[in-house]
Amino acid sequence: MTKRMSIVERSFNEWLDVKETSHRNAFCRKIVCTQLLHPSRFTTTMKPILTVLALLPLAQAQCPSQGGAISWNGPCTYETILQSTGCALNTLAKSTEDLQEACDAAAFAFASVNSVSRNFDERFFNGEGPFNDNRDIDGPEAEMATDANRLYRIKDNVAPSRRILMPTYDSLLNYTYESYFGPGVKSKAFYDANATAREMVDDFPPYMANFNLTSSCKLKTMMCCFTDSRFGSDFEDNADVCAHDLEKSAFANNVRHGFGVYDSKAPTYCTAFKWDDDQSSASYQYRGNALFDISFGTLMRKGYVKNIPGAPLCSCIENMPIVTNAACRKLDVTNERYTLKYDGTKIAIVQDSVNVAFSDCGQDFKPYHYGTASKDATAEVDKRIVDSCPASKEKFLNDRFLVPGSSTKFDLPPASKWTQVAGRGISYYPTKILDLKVRDRDFRDLFIKSPNKIVYRHCQLCLESHRHIFYRRLTPLPDASTFNFLDLFMNNWFSKNNTLNVDFKLYSTYDDAVADRNAWSYCNYDDTGVGFPRDCGILEYTPCQWNSYVRSTCSKAEYSSHNHGFYVERGASA
């Protein structure tokens, strides 16, 4: 990608001409001066500009000449490069972002951990794939030593001795572009030719959705929750799972809207890592290493696998379910050293050494990081890691205007007693209109064999009076050539050979139908395309409870007849 001109080079003199501070801030926003601080941008103050400008006058005596090199101890950031080399910014690169990219180029890409594909990594972090699905008891080809051979080498030779970046993948670039520039923008050439777009893409790197640092991870915390062991050994249950907003992890579960409330007794092990705001801190610089540790490291140390249903295995904590606890992991970084080489036109940075040591925090996550913090400081994390599930579940449901209780209105009729012949919506049953004659023949066969000649319509979202209607036939069925019995219920509730209290009766319960008691007293008919039971009611006219397979129903906010099923009482040989 073509490098853009340094904002210091192109804008500093112009900025000095703007006298009013408020006008300077507005100007700063206009020219996107906040591109200087990577990755925390989009501030409206001039502090980032002044910070960089303060570095420019440093003596350049130490600045390496063409073919020269210089080394320093500590992290690799654009600040440390300028401070350690004594170079002016525009001597080494066109922007501070270029320097940060050189630092990142010296690190180990997370995509190289497995070196398979983005899809392979995504499947693992969503609780799928061979690492999660295989069991050592399945045979030598599924044993961890074989399955995760490369992981063990990364654990021993990379994670403790190289900086690992957070997961980004070039294959996600188009998704990144589309997300921020609209579905019509797909071509990478557009960004190569558009300076503003290039700046925006720099601000929105192609992060894996689980760890999208530009749109989530505001709590600067990653968490993994495991529910099984591939070794079949003892499982450390350290957390109860309360509830989960499925929309927050649609990238993992493919559910756009919905929620889950969990049985908190299911064994779960959660572990988390938090990094600092300071971009030069070890926790910030080595958060990719920490992600490897809490995810693949837990897999290798403990053999833990599989995600909480409906949730990712690992993600930013905002995308994870509400739980009662999480273990805590930390890292210590020593002996960090880099070397910068400069050939007069470009720089290259190499990480000479580092020792990264991983360990437990000695306390669980919340007391370790928030033990002495104020309520305001813990407010957000308290929404994710709670004291107990019952209170959390109640609040979770109350926030969605749901109250405790149970309902049987969505329970399907028992298949041992009823055979379905038609249905729509929740009770969908494949019934082709063109096959109605054939369907009617099968329907009649079932009906003739039924012991009480009863047809049952179950309508889950109808008015309560019309959720269960039992049609009991009193007279023999006319010949199929002149009377389509199935179409009578589905689309054309007509009075010919079908008159209330002459040819049939309606009841609200099966027992009433069998005992012939509490029969309905009102019916109407003969509206083409309107099926059962038109406006029939227990005592009076009751509109909009009818169904149809050839026209729209008149559903209201408080009820809908679209979701329904028709059933025939099973006979002895049905």
pLDDT in tens, 201-243: 566 677 888 898 877 788 999 999 999 998 877 899 999 999 9
In this prediction, residues 160-179 reach a mean pLDDT of 78
Provide the pLDDT confidence category of residue 92 given band limits of 50, 70 and 90.
confident
Q: 559 - beta bridge partners?
A: 556
| 457 burial via Cβ count (<10 Å: 0-12, 13-18, 19+) | buried
pLDDT tens-digit series, residues 15-51? 333 333 333 333 332 222 322 223 332 232 322 322 2
User: 54 pLDDT exceeds 70?
Assistant: no
Instruction: Report the pLDDT value the prediction gives residue 51, as an integer from 0 to 100.
Output: 27
In this prediction, residues 489-502 reach a mean pLDDT of 96
Pairing verdict, β 221-226 and 327-342: unpaired
Amino acid at 58: L
Distance CA 159, CA 536 (A): 73
More confident residue, 63 or 25: 63
In this prediction, residues 403-418 reach a mean pLDDT of 83
Instruction: Report the pLDDT value the prediction gives residue 377, as an integer from 0 to 100.
Output: 74
- What does the block give as tokens for 372? 């002495």
Distance CA 495, CA 469 (A): 18
Question: CA nearest 251: which of 326, 324, 325, 179?
Answer: 179
- Listed in sequence order, the residues at least 6 apart from 117 whose beta carbon sits closer than 8 Å to its beta carbon are none
User: 486 pLDDT exceeds 70?
Assistant: yes
- What does the block give as tokens for 402? 């749901």
Residue 41 phi, psi dihedral angles, 5° rounding: -120, -170
Distance CA 294, CA 192 (A): 37
Q: Using CA of residue 423, residue 429, residue 434, residue 438, what is the dihedral sign? A: negative
Amino acid at 65: S
Instruction: Report the pLDDT value the prediction gives residue 212, as an integer from 0 to 100.
Output: 85
Provide the pLDDT confidence category of residue 78 given band limits of 50, 70 and 90.
confident
pLDDT tens-digit series, residues 524-543? 999 999 999 999 999 999 99
Instruction: Report the pLDDT value the prediction gives residue 116, as an integer from 0 to 100.
Output: 85
Instruction: Report the pLDDT value the prediction gives residue 47, as an integer from 0 to 100.
Output: 29
Provide the pLDDT confidence category of residue 507 given band limits of 50, 70 and 90.
very high
Residue 184 phi, psi dihedral angles, 5° rounding: -80, -10
More confident residue, 376 or 300: 300
- What does the block give as tokens for 63? 């600045």
Question: CA nearest 498: which of 446, 547, 448, 534?
Answer: 534
pLDDT tens-digit series, residues 345-394? 788 899 999 999 999 999 999 999 988 777 777 888 999 999 999 989 88
Provide the pLDDT confidence category of residue 432 given band limits of 50, 70 and 90.
low
**Residue 421 near residue 429, CB atoms below 8 Å:** yes
CA distances from 331 to 163, 273, 369 (A): 12, 9, 14
**Residue 365 near residue 274, CB atoms below 8 Å:** yes
Instruction: Report the pLDDT value the prediction gives residue 397, as an integer from 0 to 100.
Output: 86
Instruction: Report the pLDDT value the prediction gives residue 511, as an integer from 0 to 100.
Output: 96
Q: What does the mean pLDDT of the chain come to?
A: 81
Q: Which of 1-15, 79-93, 245-259, 495-509 has the highest mean pLDDT?
A: 495-509
Question: CA nearest 549: which of 371, 461, 425?
Answer: 425
- Listed in sequence order, the residues at least 6 apart from 285 whose beta carbon sits closer than 8 Å to its beta carbon are 75, 76, 77, 163, 279, 333
User: 271 pLDDT exceeds 70?
Assistant: yes
State the alpha helices, DSSP H only, in 293-404. 298-302, 365-370, 375-378, 381-384, 389-398
In this prediction, residues 280-295 reach a mean pLDDT of 96
Look up the pTM and report it.
Answer: 0.61
**Residue 498 near residue 423, CB atoms below 8 Å:** no
Please state at what angle helix 21-30 crosses helix 7-16, rounded to 10 degrees: 150
pLDDT tens-digit series, residues 122-153? 999 999 988 888 776 666 656 666 767 889 99
What number of other Cβ atoms are within 10 A of residue 303's Cβ? 18
User: 435 pLDDT exceeds 70?
Assistant: yes
Tell me 495's DSSP state: S
- Cis-peptide, bond into residue 39, ω within 30° of zero: yes
